[in-house]
Amino acid sequence: MECETGALAGLIGRCPAMERLRRDILQFGPTDLWMHVFGETGTGKEMVARALHEVSPRGRKHIVPVNVAGVPDDLLLTELFGHARGAFTGALDAREGYVAAAEGSTLFIDEIGDMSTVAQRRLLRFLEGGEYRRLGETSLRRADIRVISATNVDLDRRVREGRFRGDLLFRLRDETIHVPPLRERGEDVLLLARHFLRAQAARRGEAPPTLSREAEAALLGYAWPGNVRQLQKEMRSLAVRAAGREVTLEDLSRDLRQAPARKPGTLRAALRQRESELLQDALDRNGGIQARAAAELGITRQALWAKVRRRARASQGV
């Protein structure tokens, strides 16, 4: 549906991928499983993490987010675990870290794929035992937290490349939630565009612009490399540029006007593409085990095998 209440309020969309995303949040959110949220930059991974937290028993407390991208090891470990007074030059007072702040709640670690190997080792030690020391202290502290992590990179590939610890990934990822890119969400683009236009116009106390058919076609045909975040930025500008009137092609940013339109192709091609995506998603979620993937999809293992074989032959031009 277009609008939801509560934790799912910001997850606007009607496409099958968004319906599945909402089902996953409602299924896994109330558990204490440690979740990993995977998606491209700008797809809304933090919003998904917050929804998972809010539908859980820990949702009575605030989620504690920390972005670890580009943070030096010493600073990151201090930020995570805190420090005692006098632990280093300038430490005039003791400070609790993100872990202590998340006691009884959820710690959301964003861009975890960018963690250094040193930080990964320290984090794993804490996650395995639930114990940590603040910098400058000898006594151990314990923490009761749920961890939700997120990244826009393939952590399995980084494990194979030796850039991410496999044991840390195993500890972090009880379940993975995939956030779909905007280019795969069809007419959700228009739902989101109108939502952002209304929200921006309401803040300005103005009537929201309407989208012409030409503008709608341009929005649907664009690939949106920056995903929902890019669309939101575009609509903020449009709410000012086309305040109270219909949006024309000339109102759109240069990127949208100059981008080649994506060809929709035939219905048969679109259906085959969608089937291929569903097959791959099911196989990924079930570790490549065809029997489990087939059961999830509601087809026989033989039917799944035939579809996988046909897809492989098509990719080879056979």
CATH number at residue 30: 3.40.50.300
**Could you tell me if 51 and 75 lie in one domain?**
yes
Kindly tell me if the per-residue pLDDT of 125 is higher than 80. Answer: yes
Query: 154 and 245: one domain?
Result: no
| 46 and 156 in a common domain | yes
Give the pLDDT confidence score for residue 284 in this predicted structure.
75
- Reply yes or no on whether the pLDDT at 311 is more than 90: no
Beta partners for residue 107, in sequence order: 64, 147
pLDDT of residue 108: 97
Residue 1 lies in a domain: no
% pLDDT > 90, the chain = 56
Q: For residues 136 and 235, state if they share a domain.
A: no
pLDDT given for residue 38 in this prediction: 95
Same domain, 210 and 271: no
Average pLDDT over residues 55-62: 95
Tokens 């449009």 locate to: 238
Is the pLDDT confidence value at 1 over 50?
no
Beta strands in the chain (DSSP E): 35-38, 64-67, 106-110, 131-132, 141-142, 146-151, 175-178, 210-211, 246-247
In the prediction, which pLDDT does 2 show? 39
Looking at this protein, which amino acid is placed at residue 152?
N
CA-CA distance, 108 to 99, in Å (whole number)? Answer: 10
Instruction: Output the average pLDDT for the chain.
Output: 85
- pLDDT at position 269 is 52
Question: Taking the model in full, what pTM does it have?
Answer: 0.77
The lowest-confidence range among 80-84, 85-89, 112-116, 216-220 is 85-89
- Boundary-marking domain end, from 241, 258, 275: 258
Lowest mean pLDDT, pick from 23-32, 145-154, 272-281, 285-294? 272-281
Q: Mean pLDDT throughout 38-65?
A: 95
Q: How many domains does the chain have?
A: 3
Say if residue 188 is in the same domain as residue 247: yes
Q: Which two tokens stand for residue 318?
A: 């056979």
Share of the chain above pLDDT 70, in %: 87
- Residue 83 pLDDT level (bands cut at 50, 70, 90): confident
CB atoms within 10 A of CB 278: 17
pLDDT at 265: 45
Same domain (yes/no): 30, 129: yes
* pLDDT tens string 219-253: 998 999 999 999 999 999 999 999 889 999 999 99
- Write the DSSP assignment of 129-140 as a string of letters: HSEE--BT--S-
Using the CB atoms, write b or e for 297-318: b if 16+ within 10 Å.
beeeeeebeebbeeeeeeeeee
Q: Which domain holds residue 222?
A: 182-258
The total number of residues shown for the chain amounts to 318
Domain shared by 110 and 225, yes or no: no
Task: Give the least confident one: 7-11, 99-103, 314-318.
Answer: 314-318
Assigned domain for 288 exists: yes
Scanning the structure block, which residue is given the tokens 């035992």? 129
Q: What is the mean pLDDT of residues 51-71?
A: 93
pLDDT for res 137? 72
d(CA 69, CA 75): 12
Split at pLDDT 50, 70, 90, the class of 85 is low
In-domain check, residue 108 = yes
Nearest to 77 by CA among 98, 94, 104: 98
- Each residue's pLDDT tens digit, 261-296: 665 444 455 566 667 777 777 877 887 788 888 888
Amino acid, res. 315: S
Coarse DSSP helix, strand, coil percentages of the chain, rounded to the nearest 5 percent = 50, 10, 35
